[in-house]
Amino acid sequence: MEFSLTTLGVASALPTPTRFPSAHVLNIHGRLFLIDCGEGTQIELRRYGFSFMKFDSIFISHLHGDHIFGLFGLLSTMSLLGRTAPLFIYAPSGFRQILDFMLKEFGKEFHYPVTHVVLRCERPTTIFETKTVTVSAFPLNHSVETYGFIFEENRPALNVFKDKIAEYGLTLEEIGTLKRGEDVRRADGNTLKCEDFTYRPFRPRKYAHCCDTAPFPLESEWIRGADLLYHEATFTSSHVKNNHEAFHSYASEAASVAKEAGVKKLVIGHYSSRYKDGQLREFEDEARRIFPETYLSKEGAKFDIPFEKYSEDE
Ligand SMILES: [Zn+2]
Ligand SMILES: [Zn+2]
């Protein structure tokens, strides 16, 4: 029951010799989701052993080049590899004309449909749902229309304690009633309360993704309780932001959001090219003064959210 984030690209807009722009793979129970697709994503997917064909849903936060310039190469490669399965790309409305141009000029040989699902919301809104996972999007505070994402495991169905089945001689019908979350009323006048007889077999896990953004008042409320938060930290606070840069976060701001939101672990990235690799520790040091559970992302780094099984006596 894997739930992990692999950071493939951790740079911001300008190229550096050692860092790729934004791209992240989320693995939820073996299903792969790609979040953003900066230049070089194909190379990184190959390098870290991800099959291109395993992706059927790609989530694009916004239409800045460092988040989408790798997408068109990836779509072409999927075609060359013989893809026929549909591909869904969740992206802001402006993506339509970019995709139309790309498919018109380069997509004549494609044997798979590409569907653009338009992101448009003012508060957290469900955009994708399976039996296992629900994904929602919410607006961020950036220089263009930008969305963050929450990936959440769905709450597992209730189980009935085995020892209570024997102790109370529960019938199949009574077990079914309890599993539906209802109390059982018996002919002898006793009531078996659902909460005394049932438990959830595991704790659902939650991942939040905020890139690119400056902090904003509702941000921590919208991502509250995430097990893992990826938050951009383009600068350290020793840097004075200009107007354009104002829509990005300092490491300390990412850490404050994590602290306020009560997340368990923070991963930061999207470092400006002005910082050499050896200076990235400054990001970690700055963030950890506010939120000690902060980790630097780097190409190929994997962050697992551990599976927590509930024991029957909880
Ligand atoms: Zn960016
Ligand atoms: Zn951006």
pLDDT tens digit sequence for 30-81 = 999 999 999 999 999 999 999 999 999 999 999 999 999 999 999 999 999 9
- Dist. CA 48–CA 177, nearest whole Å: 47
Q: Full-prediction pTM beyond 0.95?
A: no
Question: Where do the DSSP E strands lie in the chain?
Answer: 3-9, 23-28, 31-37, 55-59, 87-92, 114-119, 125-129, 133-139, 147-153, 159-160, 184-185, 191-192, 198-199, 206-210, 228-232, 265-269, 294-296, 301-304
For the CA of 63, the nearest ligand: 2
Query: Residue 145: pLDDT above 90?
Result: yes
- Of 280, 271, 299, give the one whose Cα is nearest residue 11: 271
- Dist. CA 190–CA 51, nearest whole Å: 56
Confidence of residue 244 (pLDDT cuts 50, 70, 90): confident
- Of 282, 39, 248, 238, give the one whose Cα is nearest residue 141: 248
For the CA of 64, the nearest ligand: 2
Q: Which residues of 195-226 are buried (b: 16+ CB within 10 A; e: fewer)?
A: eebbbeeebbbbbbbbbbbbbeeebbebbeeb
Domains for the chain: give ranges and CATH numbers: 3-156+200-304 (3.60.15.10), 159-198 (no CATH)
> What's the gap in Å between 123 CA and the centre of ligand 2?
20
> What's the gap in Å between 18 CA and the centre of ligand 2?
20
pLDDT of residue 15: 85
> What's the gap in Å between 26 CA and the centre of ligand 1?
18
Q: Which of 66, 183, 212, 277 is catalytic?
A: 66
For the CA of 22, the nearest ligand: 1
pLDDT of residue 284: 98
User: Lowest mean pLDDT: which of 72-76, 82-86, 199-203, 240-244?
Assistant: 240-244
For the CA of 66, the nearest ligand: 1
Contact 132, 153 (CB under 8 A): yes
Protein residues placing their CB within 5 Å of the ion ligand 1: 12, 66, 212
Confidence of residue 92 (pLDDT cuts 50, 70, 90): very high
Count CB neighbours of 68 within 10 A.
Answer: 24
Three-state secondary-structure class, residue 61: coil
pLDDT of residue 265: 98
Confidence of residue 241 (pLDDT cuts 50, 70, 90): confident
> What's the gap in Å between 8 CA and the centre of ligand 1?
14
Calculate mean pLDDT across residues 160-185.
95
For the CA of 143, the nearest ligand: 2
pLDDT digits (tens, 9 = 90+) for 123-141: 999 999 999 999 999 999 9
> What's the gap in Å between 110 CA and the centre of ligand 1?
29
- Dist. CA 86–CA 290, nearest whole Å: 44
Q: Which residues of 251-274 are buried (b: 16+ CB within 10 A; e: fewer)?
A: bbbbbbbbbbbebebbbbbbbbee
> What's the gap in Å between 142 CA and the centre of ligand 2?
7
Is 277 known to be catalytic?
A: no
> What's the gap in Å between 221 CA and the centre of ligand 1?
23
- Dist. CA 95–CA 31, nearest whole Å: 25
pLDDT of residue 311: 56
> What's the gap in Å between 237 CA and the centre of ligand 1?
18
Query: Residue 313: pLDDT above 70?
Result: no
Considering the chain, what percentage of its residues have pLDDT values greater than 70? 99
